[in-house]
Amino acid sequence: MICKVGIYGDPHAGYDGSQGGVPSAQVAESIVARFSADQRLFDVICLGDAIHNQAEDPWIEHSRIVSGLADERRIYALGNHDVGGDNGIPGWRLATMSGGNSRVRSVPGASFLMLDIPSNELPLWAIAEVIDFASSVPPGTFAFICWHAPYYTTGMRGRAKALFELVQEIAVLRIDAVFSAHVHAYERYEGAGKTPYIVTGGGGGMPHELDANEDTPAMLPIRRAAYASYNYVTATITRTADVLRCVIECFDALTGAKVDELALDRSQYLKPGSGTTKLDPDME
């Protein structure tokens, strides 16, 4: 193994469980404890909604929960709860967590582009950032993109359809997978260009019902896995001869049981290429 990254979304610090599920701290503490105990873990990515606006000062609670992870190991994409309401991110914290609308985190064997897309709205800068990122990732290493609001989902909150143009651009670039959250469950899709899209928003917020939005009939044929409960993901990169392999695994956040796995391979000699735009329900 040359690298391992932990990924989770929607820990919702400050949520007390009164709207359903359990208090968010119970789930988030379990995830962070597993991350902290794994000596192989390189970084931890939070896909947004670190807090829930229910608490008086949810940032204090979030800081307490993640105190076992060094600041330099934590990477954030912004979610709708992080930037909205009376308890949204203070200016200084936004600058600390975000560093701008986007940022790239490189680890051995992979690069992650973090985009601040907290809702169903396509920022003007996003497509240019993705194109620049895809062209800058070293050949033979993995290229991943992370943002909050999912384009593919059957979750009750609905899809971020405004991201259509961004998804179509990703389909023709050398991007290995896209991670998002917002929906408090786990889903994995074979999206446009056959790019894997992974939703992992089960980090502490009240679980969301799946197969519950108007686009569900179009989503089900391209969905490859689903788990409607608390969850987190790891991405483990290994090297065999001239090939890098990334195994993306989803686990139940409370029990640690594995619920899904996807293996991606990339030759170190493979140059960036192009994919095809298909398998997208919005293409017609």
Q: Are 9 and 79 in contact (CB under 8 A)?
A: yes
Q: Is the pLDDT of residue 284 over 70?
A: no
Output the six-digit token pair for 239.
């090297």
CATH 3.60.21.10 fits 3-267, yes or no: yes
Q: In the chain, what percentage of residues exceed pLDDT 90?
A: 69
pLDDT tens readout for residues 37-76: 999 999 999 999 999 877 778 888 999 999 989 888 899 9
Q: Indicate the pLDDT class of residue 95, thresholds 50, 70 and 90.
A: very low
Euclidean distance between CA atoms 281 and 284, whole angstroms? 7
| pLDDT in the model for residue 266 | 86
Domain ranges of the chain: 3-267
State the pLDDT at residue 89: 53
- Residue pLDDT, tens place only, 98-142: 445 888 999 999 999 999 998 898 988 899 999 999 999 998 899
For residue 82, name the pLDDT band (cuts at 50, 70, 90). confident
What ranges in 21-103 are assigned the alpha helix state H?
24-37, 58-65, 80-83, 91-98
Statement: residue 92 has pLDDT above 80:
no
Q: How many helices and strands (H and E) does the chain possess?
A: 7, 13
Query: Which residues lie across from 76 on neighbouring strands?
Result: 46
Q: Each residue of 246-272: pLDDT tens digit?
A: 999 999 999 999 999 999 998 754 444
pTM score: 0.91
Q: What is the pLDDT of residue 269?
A: 45
